[in-house]
Amino acid sequence: MRVLFVFWVLVLACGGGSVRGDVDGGGGGGGGGDAPPVDGKLAGVLEAHNAVRASHGQAPLVWDSGLAAMAAAWLEQCVDVQVPFGGVDENPHLPDDVGHNERGSPFLSYTGKDAVRGWASAEQQYSYSTNYCVVNGYCADYLQMVWGTTTQVGCGYHYCPALPSGVSVACYYRPRMIPGQRPY
């Protein structure tokens, strides 16, 4: 574990552009309950998720460093081959039980909490009475954040200087939302 920690410290010190939520000494991932990031671009991202969930009576999520590592590893590849171009694409290789949210920005000051605010803002495009997004609206990111059976989250952050939306944040959730069902 010490070798892994030293490796990531060197990578970040030498200009690596990623922030992984699993470099925290909180143990290996997969089971949830690991310590979330307390500094850097992902600081407060778990608390931001849980504030949105609490406003809808949903239980708090726990941090999963395995999901965080998966998100960061995908973002580090800076894959941008799908429309719309300009930001990191969605990961097509996720396990079936993992949901995802991605968001990018051209601003280096962009953080994980900024991404959560963006996803949460899609609430205004969701109609609980019809269980649909309003016409031309997109609300799946919001729904994944507040999904009642989701219990774990892990997020990654990476800067891809060659992309117009160079800063990317991805959060992966377990279990994922199920399209067509009500979130809570």
pLDDT at 21: 44
Per-residue pLDDT of the chain (184 residues; tens, 9 = 90+): 333 332 333 333 333 444 444 333 333 445 567 888 988 999 999 999 999 999 999 999 999 999 999 999 999 999 888 777 878 888 999 999 999 999 999 999 999 999 999 999 999 999 999 999 987 778 999 999 999 999 999 999 999 999 999 999 999 999 999 998 999 9
pLDDT at 121: 95
Nearest C-alpha neighbor of 71 from the set 38, 121, 37: 37
pTM above 0.85, yes or no: no
Kindly report the backbone phi and psi dihedral angles of residue 36, in degrees, each rounded to the nearest multiple of 5, phi listed first. Answer: -75, 165
Task: Note whether 81 and 89 are within 8 A (CB).
Answer: yes
pLDDT at 7: 30
pLDDT at 31: 56
Give every CB contact of residue 23 below 8 A, 6+ residues apart in sequence: 4, 5, 8, 9
pLDDT at 176: 97
Characterize the bridge pairing of strands 167-174 and 152-159.
antiparallel
pLDDT at 97: 97
